[in-house]
Each structure stands twice: as C-alpha cells, then as structure tokens.
C-alpha cells in the first residue's frame, strides 16, 4: 500500500454499525420489539440516546434491572436471531463506503474496525455486504476486551494491534459511547458520522451530542472524510 504522504494520519479506526453498514435501524428496531416482550417501552429517540453503540452485556443488564427479572438467554438469543435474519435480507453498505476505503488505500493509510458488536454478528454482516477481504485480520470486536464502549478498551486494543500512534490515528463514530471511549484511549481526532437511517429523526440532536462528547467535526456524508482526514 503506497501512499502520497499527504495525510497527517497513519491509521483510521471505524465503528462498524451505523458507519460502514446501515445496520442500526435494524438493530434498534429489533431491540425495541425485544424490550417490549419484557414490558419495556422506548421511543426511537430514547433508543438512540440510551443504547446506540453500547455492548449487548450492558443492554441486557439494563433490561434485567428495569424488568426486575433475569433475562436468561431469552433476550440476547432472540434479539440476535432477529437481527441476523434481517441483516441477510436488508443490510446495505453506507453510501460512499467503498470510495473512502479506496482513498485510504491510495494514501497508504491503514484502517480497521473496532465494534461493540459480537464477532459472530460482525462476521455475518461482513459476509452479507461482501467486504471482509478489505480488512483481513483487522477486525476488533468487543468480545476481545473486558469492557465495551464507552470504556476505551476496544480502541486501546485496536491501537496495539495496529501498532498505531494515537496522535496519528483518527476514529469515525456514530455513537456517543464510542466517541467517549476513543477520547479516553488518548485519540484526539475523533470524527462523528450521522448519515445512518437510524438518525433520521434526530440528526441535529445526535450531531450536537457527538460534539459534546468530543467529536472534532460531524458530517452525514462519508465522502467528506477524504478532505477531513487530509486537513
């Protein structure tokens, strides 16, 4: 991978859901349905604010505390099965994803995924959209670390695996939890993305929250990152 040397970054860490694939609408829709089975009703904006980017474990803990009973395997299994089924038929790449990857490769910038999703869900999604070969072994799931976002663990793991300097690494996130986690890992260049369909009702609100959490710049168009990363 031979670059032009024009970028100040040597690596980019992507969140996956809601950034590379337009999957959060599916995940939050199925979460809303699964929560209802435990008597928990949430509006769409409440789901975005409270659960976007959080680990399955933290979501399960919330359900058990709110419902006042053990969710057992019922919640995670049901939620996951519904999501995987929907991914197979409905999952799509975000517009501009492949062009951004091409740009990074042309610039000699390494890139990876650091996601709060399980490895099984991540691999299934990659298979559906056919981009697994773009990452090879640069796939880092919350399954590999002790604490999910907003803890910095997944970002620290990605930095170590890449051998990347935090000062020369950028993160692209759609979630508040991920933005907080990336900043806590010592990465200052955290950028927000609000182009997913799951943010259709709250784009401005989410953009403001991402900025408050530490995002340096927020956009809803992945193609903007070619210029942002070069600035």
Per-10-residue mean pLDDT, the chain, length 231? 67 98 95 92 91 81 92 81 95 98 96 94 97 96 92 98 98 96 99 96 94 98 95 78
Q: Which whole-number Å values give the CA distances from 210 to 170, 184, 216, 222, in the listed order?
A: 15, 14, 9, 16
Please count the other Cβ atoms lying within 10 Å of the Cβ belonging to residue 62: 16
Q: What is the pLDDT of residue 107?
A: 94
> Where among 90, 107, 129 does a domain terminate?
90
Q: Peptide bond preceding 150: is omega within 30 degrees of 0, i.e. cis?
A: yes
Tell me, yes or no, if the pTM score tops 0.85: yes
Residues 141-169 as b/e (b if ≥16 CB within 10 A, e otherwise) read bbbebeebbbbbbbbbbbbeebebebeeb
In a domain, 2, yes or no: no
> Where among 90, 121, 143 does a domain terminate?
90
| Co-location of 45 and 83 in the same domain | yes
In the sheet where 189-193 sits, what is the strand order?
139-141, 110-115, 11-14, 169-173, 189-193, 217-219
- Tokens encoding 90: 């409905």
CB 47 within 8 A of CB 199: no
In a domain, 40, yes or no: yes
CATH number reported for the structural domain that contains residue 140 in this entry = 3.40.50.1000
| Co-location of 164 and 73 in the same domain | no
Residue 109: CB partners within 8 Å, gap ≥ 6? Answer: 3, 7, 9, 10, 11, 12, 229
Q: What is the pLDDT of residue 5?
A: 53
Q: What is the pLDDT of residue 77?
A: 83
Q: What is the pLDDT of residue 217?
A: 98
Q: What is the pLDDT of residue 6?
A: 57
Q: What is the pLDDT of residue 57?
A: 79
| Co-location of 191 and 217 in the same domain | yes
d(CA 162, CA 2): 17
Name the domain count of the chain: 2
Three-state DSSP at 228 gives: helix
In a domain, 3, yes or no: no
Q: What is the pLDDT of residue 72?
A: 78
| Co-location of 102 and 86 in the same domain | no
Q: What are phi and psi of 36, to 5 degrees?
A: -60, -30
């Amino acid at each position: 991978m031979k670059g032009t040397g024009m970028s100040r970054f040597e690596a980019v860490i992507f969140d996956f859901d809601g950034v590379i694939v337009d999957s959060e609408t599916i995940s939050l829709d199925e979460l809303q349905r699964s929560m209802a089975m435990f008597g928990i009703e949430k509006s769409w904006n409440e789901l975005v604010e409270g659960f976007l980017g959080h680990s399955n474990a933290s979501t399960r803990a919330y359900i058990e505390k709110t419902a006042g009973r053990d969710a057992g395997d019922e919640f995670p299994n049901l939620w996951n099965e519904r999501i995987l089924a929907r991914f197979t038929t409905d999952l799509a790449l975000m517009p501009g994803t492949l062009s951004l990857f091409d740009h990074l490769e042309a610039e000699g910038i390494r890139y990876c995924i650091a996601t709060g999703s399980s490895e099984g869900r991540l691999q299934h999604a990659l298979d559906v959209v056919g981009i697994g070969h773009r990452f090879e072994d640069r796939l880092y799931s919350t399954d590999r670390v002790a604490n999910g976002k907003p803890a910095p663990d997944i970002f620290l793991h990605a930095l170590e695996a890449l051998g990347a300097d935090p000062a020369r690494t950028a993160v692209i996130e759609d979630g508040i939890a991920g933005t907080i986690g990336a900043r806590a890992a010592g990465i200052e260049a955290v950028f927000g993305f609000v182009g997913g369909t799951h943010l259709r009702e709250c784009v401005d609100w989410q953009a403001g929250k991402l900025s408050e959490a530490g995002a340096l710049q927020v956009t809803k168009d992945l193609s903007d990152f070619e210029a942002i990363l070069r600035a």
